[in-house]
Structure 1
């Protein structure tokens, strides 16, 4: 079995679960696990189709949000099998991970997947709900909108982001409006835009801000097991 992954979350999941040598290619953005030694095939939005084909994969794994349909169609046109995942909430993520790993020849359910399922099923009810805005980009400012995996993650932790009913999944919202809605907290992940202590919080003077790991907020892979604890700690610190 030879697999190419075009999704960082799935790359990590396959790399730590499948037999050595199964994963032969991944994108330039696939940063986990550390030291991953596979052929790099470009970005998630602009993969090098010819390089992927040259790897002679039995399967390419992709995601309907992270990857572009024209690239996937180009792979299918030359006979490459492509599996496309859809992940909009935590239960769906767990199910899609099990499906991908089975397709990659993983014979038994990995322990980390059970740990992730347990971590999310054992969440206590939040003591109170918190409102938030969650920027994912600046110049222009973009935030989480409707029907997103990260939005579901936060909702399960007691955080209601204020654009969850917006018609767009990642709406562009002027900064003045983001300030004016007065959220309890501004959640600033380090991807896709890399918000840092010096780049992001200064735009929301007077509002509590918390910097969080994008891997824990937006990735669906082994990081799901630690995500509830890591995100909850960051959110509690911001609420104080």
Structure 2
């Protein structure tokens, strides 16, 4: 009888430690204990794991995950959309984090590997994903880490000169040109900074634009990464745009651009970079500096 009671207690104790999380595709993922060997196939998810103080649990990443710098030492398992399945299996992960757009989730699940598909696209998503990964990893203070990030974005907005807040901005995410629209997390940051995005929400979060649209919109300031900035002044009609003509361009280094375009814990850094750009380049601010 005592043995049966002991077994029952052990059974219920095990149940008490099991938990489940629903990912962004609606799949319910069950856990008996927090995972210790994690492969991440999306840079923003790897950065979130590290922001939660759990970098040591990462055993593999996609080829684009490069922050913090310690991630560069980990095995790379290909791209996030089409990763190397054999390389992932060889790492014996007890969890793979990936974007909802990845084609690898079903294949990994059929191989018995636990998968959590998460893809932050807005500020609210960044908060939700951080809390969800915190729940999965058993990190109790994920909410306080998010509050620190959110407060830093607000501080960046408060640091901006009042005169800069009427500025019309074009943010180019990648060549194409692909832009950050109002409904993207980058667009939300611009809105919190109090400036006007020339790409309306109706066009989607990251639309591919007709270059003539940008010329006609004639933004006051252009934000662009150095990888896309080559030949910018040679684009048809761009020499006539106010921002190009008056040199009101913010060209971000590759490292800065990565912080800006990844919806994760470095969102606050991205807000500071944009605020500094506006403080330096906004026409209303520049005019006040003229003696």
TM over 0.5: yes
Q: Which has the higher helix share?
A: 2
Residue 124, structure 1, aligned to residue 158, structure 2: yes
Instruction: Work out the CA distance in 2 between the residues paired with 1:201 and 1:58.
Output: 49
Q: TM-score, normalised by structure 2?
A: 0.70
Match of 1:215 in 2: 258
Alignment deviations for residues 105-154 of structure 1 (CA, whole Å, 9 cap, x no partner): 4343387544212213444396323222222232x322223632221122
Q: Does 1:101 align with 2:141?
A: no
CA RMSD of aligned residues (A): 2.6
Q: Distance in 2 between matches of 1:146 and 1:234?
A: 18
Superposition deviation, residue 99 in structure 1 = 1.4
1:54–1:110 CA distance, 2 compared to 1 (3 A): farther
Tell me the secondary structure at the aligned position of residue 25 of structure 1: strand
Contact 1:134 1:188 in 2 (8 A): yes
Tell me how far 1:23 sits from its aligned partner: 0.6
Shift of 1:32: 0.6
Of residues 177-186 and 114-123 in structure 1, the stretch that sits farther from structure 2 once superposed is 114-123
- Indicate conservation of the 8 Å contact 2:177/2:211, yes or no: yes
Select the residue among 140, 148, 154 that pairs with 2:190.
Answer: 154
The alpha carbon displacement at 1:232 in A equals: 0.2
Count of matched residue pairs = 232
Extract unaligned runs of 5+ from structure 2: 1-35, 287-291
Which deviations, in whole Å up to 9, do the C-alpha atoms of 1:17-62 show, x marking residues without a partner? 3446311110110011113222111112221122112222111112
Q: Does 1:44 align with 2:77?
A: no
Distance 1:149 1:20 in 2: 24
Which one has the largest radius of gyration? 2
What is the CA-CA distance between 1:210 and the residue it aligns to?
1.6
Distance in 1, matches of 2:233 and 2:47, equals 30
Change (3 A) 1:77 1:199: farther
Check conservation: 2:168, 2:219, Cα contact below 8 A.
Answer: yes
Indicate yes or no: 2:276 matched with 1:233: yes
Q: Who is 2:213 aligned against?
A: 177
Distance 1:20 1:163, change over 3 A: closer
